[in-house]
Structure 1
């Protein structure tokens, strides 16, 4: 049975963000081409919802459909409206959120983190919202650990994302968490979006205009992607870009939002995940093929990224599970 995602639309909803869950989850398919998710949209009372644009949207369901949800997504509201503080929700909305089953996953897109926090759902947990509102959020909700610099925060049951496109990243993250990188990457291709931006990537990246056409690090990033199995030092990358290490590091972070070392490590983990899902290579062979060399190092990075060992990840997501279950490596 497909996973049921229910999107809750509140007054002031942003139409772009309202459509993100259906767009991303709707393109997640199994090997037979069947949808892995079913997406419904609801409002309180099933009433038409005013958007932050010059139109109103009608939805097919009222809040009773939330009882059937495996995941509830609270869509973004207009950032210019007054956001609720502790205890600031209407009795109607508070009752709707309180009725969500304790095992149901709950996701906020951008400013709807204020709604979850006002309901007390984020107390003692990490969260994020649009970078321009993080100070206000932290002031209103001192019991929440606000992270101003990330695209999304995954607490397990409750997840929050930053603004606009970060909602796409979070939805793809959930597809990847549920079904693996291959399914998420295919969904991203169908949506014509980048397949993966790590949740810890900076929300706001300043991209200075280059002084010369060859001053970008784009070519060096492509060069590195083709050589992930090889040692790639910071000096190697800077040399290829024809920059000093200091200049390269500064420009790389400005363009990508991560240090060169962080970026290379993430690309290696991505490649390792793909190989674990789609090949029968041993973990030692995958470690060498992705530049980690030692399977213990690969294990450390994979556990840090997804919370699983290589063997556990393969058991969960590989299309060659019988061989994986036999145990190619005990790592």
Structure 2
């Protein structure tokens, strides 16, 4: 006995047809986005610009809602707005009618997404959204739909056909809607003056956040961890300090901890080429004076750039008065995931 939900099977696996379908899908979706681009760029249709103005002037939050595949797209659009400086969240259209509508205020902009423009769950809450005073942007594929007619601004996401061979599964339409949401978010981002630093603040756990929010003082070695000797000590004592602290260098300071110079493993190798007995050598005679430094309040990524530019693995940290306050090794920046 066969089951009604048995998956259809094929006697042959046709790689050529698979590639044809893949190419057709990408072509259909690319063409649909190109058509969208022409619509929103049209001088006779100001709806996209009007929507951006409305979002920029929003005194509350952007609420994005949909159901089914449109709901998934709505959730992604809300996340994109939130991560690019526009407070936003997703509300499931069905849940909105059962209490979640209480999260919407008169100061919000409500973006309703339904390709048909006739999703009952959205249509049922639109009068309430309008009544409370929130502004409504509708994204549909049908300008004559009820949702489009209820909206303050309608954005047309129409596609000529879906990429699905049966022209049933939302494919090209969801791609176009997602692209339209991205276009809105990027336009608002730019018009609001959102910067790379602002993006980092909302992504502190990401690579960009670490690069832009981590300062030298957060990763440098300090206190007893700093390799440091006085200027009147011997080269042998300096070598012992280098070995003890384990970052292949030592700073040379005066009695007031003012940085005078640096001596590295590389300096030692070069010194050995011309001097075989250095038991009586003073560190002040072989150190590099005025070493490259960085301030503790500079970004850690600047330390990386300085190291890369000068092809060094260590860097001393000095304050504005030239006092030694820390030391950095390239491994410290790697462990902090700045690199």
TM-score computed with the length of structure 2 as normaliser: 0.30
| Bigger Rg, structure 1 or 2 | 2
Structure with greater contact order relative to length (CA < 8 Å, sep ≥ 6): 2
Give 1 or 2: higher strand fraction.
Answer: 2
TM-score computed with the length of structure 1 as normaliser: 0.30
